[in-house]
Structures are given as structure tokens and as C-alpha cells.
A and B are shown apart, each in its own frame.
Chain A
Amino acid sequence: AQSVSQHNHHVILSEAASLELGCNYSYGGTVNLFWYVQYPGQHLQLLLKYFSGDPLVKGIKGFEAEFIKSKFSFNLRKPSVQWSDTAEYFCAVNPLNTGFQKLVFGTGTRLLVSP
């Protein structure tokens, strides 16, 4: 079945540690890719997106993600996390053959950054 997988459900890091969250998808056609973040008590918001071109995309707050087509992956990275990065992170895929702007979300990764 077509899906989006996030392998890490819970991640605990200390401040200044590096972060990498995995995301794999199983759609065979062309897709747009996204990472969303949900800070405690706040709205879900867009962190970064990839449509085409340079496979390394930069988002807000120092986050970046790399699209590796051969691996169907779109991993999120940050060189040095801060306590304020504590949140839930969702990878999402927009398959371009659905006829509308459908977003398919992964199961999410809860990140806890300890000071």
C-alpha cells in the first residue's frame, strides 16, 4: 500500500546534539514532499518543502532536508538542536496523480530536547 513511514516515534536529545529524522514514502510517481512541525499548544505549521531542483532544501529555524529519489527518502536534519525544538514532526507527501492537493502524512516523531 502507498504510505509514508517515519521510523522514529520518539527521539530524546540533549541541546546542541545533531538531529536526523527519517522519512520514507512508497509512492512511485512524482511527489511533492514536506515536513510539518507541531510545537506544544500551537498550530501545525510548515517547516520546509521540496518540489524539484536542488535535493537539499532549507527551511525555517535552521532545519534542512535531503531528497534522495533512489531511496524514496526525505530525511530532516538540524546540526544543533535547541530546547525550543521540542515538538512533534510530521513528514508529508503530495502525490501528483490524485487530482487535488492531497497530503498524506507520516505517523509523526515526538522530539524532546533536554536543556
Chain B
Amino acid sequence: DGGITQSPKYLFRKEGQNVTLSCEQNLNHDAMYWYRQDPGQGLRLIYYSQIVNDFQKGDIAEGYSVSREKKESFPLTVTSAQKNPTAFYLCASSLTAGTRGWNEQYFGPGTRLTVT
């Protein structure tokens, strides 16, 4: 059963702690993305990776870090520097991220992070 998995579904952390959100895909996609979804703000791009060992900042990268050591995995770390970390985080992947033709982005089920 191919797809994108994100774990856990709900995550609770104390302020000041770093937390890592998992994203795994078995679609053999080169490109992966992290979005943040807040009520009334839609989805905003945090980081994206076009290929293994490469990643780029999106629109709201401050306070976040990522790694892409394996094609199927793109973990996101929410650091203590992120001022408003409580949000719903969505991971996505696509066959490629290049601009030669469109490759649909497939989304995972999301992780809801609550920081108190």
C-alpha cells in the first residue's frame, strides 16, 4: 500500500524542547515538502527537498530544520527557536520538483503538534 506516513498523529511538548516529526514515503518520489497549516491561514511551505542530501528553505523556515539522508524520509525538527510551534504539519511528496511538467504533490495525514 503506497503512500506517505506521518507519525505520530498527535504530539505534545513543553516549551523550550526540540521535537522531530517523522515523514516517510514509499512512492519512490524524489521531491518532498513540509507545510504548516494554521486556522485561517492555509498551508505555508517550510522546507522542500528536490533530491537526497539537498534541501531548501521555503517561506517560513525560521525555527525549523530538516534532513534528507534517505530518499524515503524527510524528518522535520521544530526547534525551541520557533516562536509559535503549535500547528498542524503536513508532509508531501512528488515525483520530482523540477519545472518540466507538473508532478502532483501527494499529502500525508499530518501531525498535530501542541506546545505548552
**Interface check A11, CB cutoff 8 A:** no
- Count A-side interface residues using an 8 Å CB cutoff: 24
Q: Which residues of B are at the interface with A, using a C-beta cutoff of 8 A?
A: 4, 31, 35, 40-45, 48, 50, 56, 90, 94, 96-99, 102-110
Return A49 CB to nearest CB of chain B, in Å: 7
Q: Is the interface of A mostly helix, strand, loop or mixed?
A: loop
**Across-interface contacts of A32 in B (CB, < 8 A):** 102
**Among candidates A45, A100, A102, A106, residue contacting B42 with C-beta atoms closer than 8 Å:** A106
Asked whether, in the complex, the Cβ of A103 is within 8 Å of the Cβ of B107, the reply is no
**Interface check A51, CB cutoff 8 A:** yes
How many pairs, one residue from A and one from B, have CB atoms within 8 Å of each other in the complex? Answer: 55
**In whole angstroms, how far apart are the Cα atoms of A44 and B48 in the complex?**
18
**Among candidates A42, A49, A96, residue contacting B99 with C-beta atoms closer than 8 Å:** A96
Among residues of A, the one whose C-beta sits closest to the C-beta of B43 is A105
Asked whether, in the complex, the Cβ of B40 is within 8 Å of the Cβ of A44, the reply is no
Asked whether, in the complex, the Cβ of B90 is within 8 Å of the Cβ of A107, the reply is no
Asked whether, in the complex, the Cβ of A101 is within 8 Å of the Cβ of B105, the reply is yes
**Can you name 5 A-B pairs with beta carbons within 8 Å?**
A4-B42, A6-B42, A43-B108, A49-B102, A105-B35
Asked whether, in the complex, the Cβ of B99 is within 8 Å of the Cβ of A103, the reply is no
**Across-interface contacts of A103 in B (CB, < 8 A):** 43, 45, 105
Asked whether, in the complex, the Cβ of A99 is within 8 Å of the Cβ of B99, the reply is yes
Return A92 CB to nearest CB of chain B, in Å: 8
**Across-interface contacts of A9 in B (CB, < 8 A):** 40
Instruction: Flag A80-103 by CB within 8 Å of B: 1 or 0 each.
Output: 000000000010001010011111
